Amino acid sequence: MQIIRDLALLEQALADLRADGGTIAFVPTMGALHPGHLALVAEARRRASHVVASIFVNPTQFGENEDLSTYPRRENADAALLEQEGCAILWAPEADVMYPDGFETPVAAGPLGAELDGAARPGHFDGVATVVARLFDQVRPDFAVFGEKDYQQLAIIRALAQRLGLGIEIVGVPTQRDADGHALSSRHAYLSEDERRDARALPRALGEAAQAIQLGQPVDETLARARARLEAAGFDPVDYVELRDAETLAPLSTLDRPARLLAAARMGRTRLIDNLPVLPA
Ligand code: PAF
C-alpha cells in the first residue's frame, strides 16, 4: 500500500491503478480506525478492483468547542490495518494540501445540513460537504463507501454526489455494533467505564422504540418514552429522538413508508449518535 501526501503523486498512483481498466472504490475516514471502518473497506473491495482510503482529520467540520485537538490520531496503526485489508493507496494529505492558502470554495450541505445534528453542530455538515467534494475531486472514484451510523451525513453526501454529477455511486454500509449494542465510533474512546455502561441505554431505547412503532404504537408517544428513558439513564442533553423518512429525512409522525429512527444525546462530555431502520408492515 502506498501512503501518499502529495497531489501530483496521488494523481500518478491513481492513473497507474486505472491503467488496467479496473474500478476504484474510495473509503474516506478521519482515522482512529475500528472494525466499523474495516467493514467499509471490505465492502469497497467487494465493489471495485482497487480500494483507496483517506485519513484526514478535517478541521472545517469541527465546531469551536469540539474535539479537533484531542481527536484520536494514530496513523501508523491505521495504515497497518488498511494494508492488511487490501487497500492500494492511503491518501493522507496535510491541511495545507487539502485547503491551500486562498482556498475559497466551501460547498454548502443544503437545508438538511441545518437539521438534527446540524442544529446542534452549526456548520458541521458544510465542513463535511466541503471536504468530501474536495476528496471526490482528488480521487475521482467509481464508488464511495460510508457508514450508516452517520445516517444524516450519508443522506447529505448522496445528495451532494448527485449535485456534483461526478458519476460516483454512494454506497451505505450497515452500522457495526459491539457486544453491548453500541454503534462502533472513534468517540467511544472518550467514555469512562461507567459512562459506557450507562450509554447502552441508547441502542436499547432505539431498539424498543423501533419495535413499538413497527407494531403500530403512536409515533409521538413512543419517541417521548425513548427520550425519557435516555434522560433517566443519564444522557444530558438529549438533542433529538426522531422518526424520519429513510430517504429524504423529512419528519414523520406516522409510519407510512420506510423510515429511520435517529437519536443524539450527550453522555458526560461525549456526544453519541445512533439510528435504526423502521419498516412499515
Ligand atoms: O465520517 C467521517 O469520518 C467524516 O465525516 C468524513 C466523511 C471522512 C469527512 O471528513
Pair (169, 199) in one structural domain: no
Mean pLDDT in residue range 117-129: 97
Pair (142, 222) in one structural domain: no
Pair (156, 211) in one structural domain: no
Pair (129, 39) in one structural domain: yes
pTM recorded for the entire structure: 0.96
Check 34, 37, 124, 188 and give the catalytic one.
Answer: 37
Pair (120, 235) in one structural domain: no
Pair (205, 270) in one structural domain: yes
Question: Does the active-site annotation cover 37?
Answer: yes
Pair (143, 197) in one structural domain: no
| Ligand 1 centroid distance, CA of 56 (Å) | 8
Asked if residue 215 is part of any domain, the answer here is yes
Asked if residue 84 is part of any domain, the answer here is yes
Pair (148, 18) in one structural domain: yes
- pLDDT surpasses 90 at 102: no
For residue 89, what is the domain's CATH number? Answer: 3.40.50.620
Asked if residue 59 is part of any domain, the answer here is yes
Spell out a b/e string for 90-119, using b for 16 or more CB atoms within 10 Å of the CB, else e. bbbbeeebbbeeeeeeebebbebbebbbbe
Pair (212, 134) in one structural domain: no
Say what the pLDDT of residue 83 is: 98
Mean pLDDT in residue range 171-181: 97
Nearest CA to ligand 1 atom 2: 29
Pair (21, 104) in one structural domain: yes
Domain count, the chain: 2
- pLDDT surpasses 90 at 188: no
- pLDDT surpasses 90 at 180: yes
Mean pLDDT in residue range 209-237: 98
pLDDT in tens, 151-167: 999 999 999 999 999 89
Q: Of residues 105 and 21, which shows the higher confidence score?
A: 21
| Ligand 1 centroid distance, CA of 251 (Å) | 24
Could you list the residue range(s) of the whole structural domain that residue 130 is in?
A: 2-173
- pLDDT surpasses 90 at 104: no
**Could you identify the atom of ligand 1 that is nearest to the CA of residue 147?**
1
**Could you identify the atom of ligand 1 that is nearest to the CA of residue 58?**
10
Pair (102, 143) in one structural domain: yes
Asked if residue 181 is part of any domain, the answer here is no
Mean pLDDT in residue range 208-219: 98
Say what the pLDDT of residue 263 is: 98
Say what the pLDDT of residue 103 is: 84
**Bridge-based pairing state of the strands 259-267 and 238-245:** antiparallel
Residue 144: pLDDT band by 50, 70, 90 thresholds?
Answer: very high
Nearest CA to 188 among 73, 77, 75, 267? 267
Mean pLDDT in residue range 74-83: 97
